[in-house]
Structure 1
Amino acid sequence: MTSTDILGNEPVRSSVRFPLRLAVTLHAGDRTYEAMTEDVSANGVLFVANQLPAVDTKVEFRILMPAAIMGGKEDVVVYCIGRIVRLVERDGVTKAGAVIDEYSLKAEHS
């Protein structure tokens, strides 16, 4: 979710976004989409791909968060259920913003 700052110039985000480029597969009904994350926050994810689901589509995905990013010894898999809330297509690249409605974490043993 965004709102405008006092001067009306820049969007103000409700949570900090981290620029993470991670491969992810989105599941939307009977379709799958291969994408990369552009940024991740506690509330949502920005995906980049050639094609992504439409706004209001329910999506399920998992993100493998490397141990180095999580500050631990093991990678962590974040299982997410969310929905696409915005979609922008420009120059053959599609970006989709998704909110995360539910998530669970699991350590990934190497």
Structure 2
Amino acid sequence: MGQLQQFDGRNAVRTSVRFPMQLAVVLATESGPLEALTVDVSANGLLFSADRLPPVGSRVVFTMTMPSAVMGAANDVMIHCTGRIVRHQHAENALRAAAVIDEYFLKV
């Protein structure tokens, strides 16, 4: 099992349904842009893998294009999000991080 680093030292309670989706996303981080691939996405956040990880507690900004089938819409939906990294996970020879979404809005 992978090692976890919790932002607050406790296990986060996950209440949203997570959708396993691999979406390319570029996160704006304090140390510059970071190309990543989502592992799963929920209404509250996302789990992503990348070659390097932003520090736990750091702010991230990103835009995701959600497939129309997932959103129940006629067209794909772009969602602009502001959030923060809440934990790191090292699993399956991959670096992963979870980000909680603090704010979001739909881009038209």
If the TM-score is normalised by the length of the shorter chain, which range does it land in?
A: 0.7 to 0.9
1:16 Cα deviation after fit: 0.8
In 1, the alpha carbon distance for the partners of 2:89 and 2:67 equals 28
**TM-score after normalising by structure 2:** 0.82
Q: SS of the counterpart of 1:102? A: strand
Task: Tell me how far apart the structure 2 counterparts of residues 91 and 70 of structure 1 sit (CA, whole Å).
Answer: 29
Q: Mark the runs of 5 or more structure 2 residues left unpaired by the alignment.
A: 1-11
TM-score (norm 1): 0.81
Deviation at 1:50, TM superposition (A): 1.4
SS in 1 for 2:70: helix
Give the SS at the match of 1:105.
strand
Higher mean C-alpha deviation, range 77-86 or range 28-37: 28-37
Task: Give aligned-pair identity as a percent.
Answer: 51
Is residue 61–residue 80 contact of structure 1 (8 Å, CA) maintained in 2?
Answer: yes
Partner in structure 1 of residue 15 of structure 2: 14
Aligned length: 97
Aligned residue in 1 for 2:85: 84
Q: Which has the higher contact order (CA 8 A, sep 6+)?
A: 2
Deviation at 1:102, TM superposition (A): 0.3
**Within 1, Cα distance between the matches of 2:70 and 2:97?**
23
SS in 2 for 1:69: helix
Please give the per-residue CA displacement for 1:38-81, whole angstroms capped at 9, x wherever unaligned: 11111110011111201011000010011122121111001000
RMSD: 1.4
- Look up the match of 1:24: 25
Compute the displacement of 1:30 (Å): 4.5
Counterpart secondary structure, 1:39: strand
**1:55 matched residue in structure 2:** 56
